[in-house]
Amino acid sequence: MEITKNGMFAIAGRPNVGKSTLINAIAGAKVAIVSDKPQTTRNRITAVCTRGNCQFVFLDTPGFHRPRTRLGEFMNGVVSESVADVDAVLLVVEPVAEVGKGERMLIDKLRAAQMPAILVINKMDSVPKDRMLEVAAVYREEYDFADYIPLSALEGDGIELLLDMLERFAQEGPALFPEGMVSDQPVRQLAAEIVREKMLLALDKEIPHGVAVEIEKFENENGHLSIAATIYCEKESHKGIIIGKNGSMLRRIGAEARQDIERLTGEKVYLQTWVKVKENWRQSAAQLRNFGYSSEA
């Protein structure tokens, strides 16, 4: 079917409300990494969903938070830029009948931009259904939302109803991305993010927030995909934890990442990983540019 309408939407919210889980559910594929740790998403990720004659483009943004590093400042900047460039914003919140500081800061940005927004009450699989009315009432006192919807991104419940709701914001126009495309992220970049996801899932406390992954090699060789990934951390002690006793943690991270990359690419993958120390890289403008966390990159 020919695409005659398109719409661009930003998915915004504070850390750990399920934005990346939602964008994966919409795309029907893994285009954003997911963990239970806040600030998992660092950059803006684009997901594409084509439905009938309409193509929806979604921007998954980092969780808006009070930054403590240059990396945090960059992540908040990504949110601000994304909210300003779309047809509408999806403000994703948890089913709690209280507007937190992070949500209030985002609502202030919506108000300043006079941006239409839909309130998405996520994680409804974890609470009684009647909680939705309480949450919606509290938020609608704060902002004139165009609509609201309860859903469970984890279970995929409510996704089709959300797309129905968004179609009224779509504009007349052609497809913005080629047919069959679900994300603008190169597979090489997705591979780096998958390695970082496995560290987020395997490691505790502050260490995952101080790591970056750089793909040094990404080539097809002798019928398989050969990838070399370097993990950068901020402290020598962190390096030891990431490697683990006799290399056990690094092997676990590599094995789990390889399996996901194989599912993503449909190819046999040979993955090598190394760990290096770059002290305070999150505070270095030059290092942020090297790792792709810069609007100037």
The residue ranking higher by pLDDT, 184 or 86, is 86
Nearest in space to 129 (alpha carbons), one of 102, 100, 158: 158
Architecture of domain 5-172: 3-Layer(aba) Sandwich (3.40)
pLDDT digits (tens, 9 = 90+) for 158-168: 999 999 999 99
pLDDT digits (tens, 9 = 90+) for 226-250: 999 999 988 888 899 999 999 999 9
Superfamily assignment of 187-290 in CATH? K homology (KH) domain (3.30.300.20)
Q: What's the pLDDT band for 81 if we cut at 50, 70, 90?
A: low
Q: What pLDDT was estimated at residue 206?
A: 56
- Looking at residues 21-42, what average pLDDT do you find? 67
Alpha carbons 151 and 136: distance in angstroms, whole number? 13
Alpha carbons 156 and 143: distance in angstroms, whole number? 26
Nearest 5°: the CA angle 270, 272, 273 is 150
Domain ranges of the chain: 5-172, 187-290
Q: Which two tokens stand for residue 154?
A: 């984890």
Q: What's the pLDDT band for 289 if we cut at 50, 70, 90?
A: low
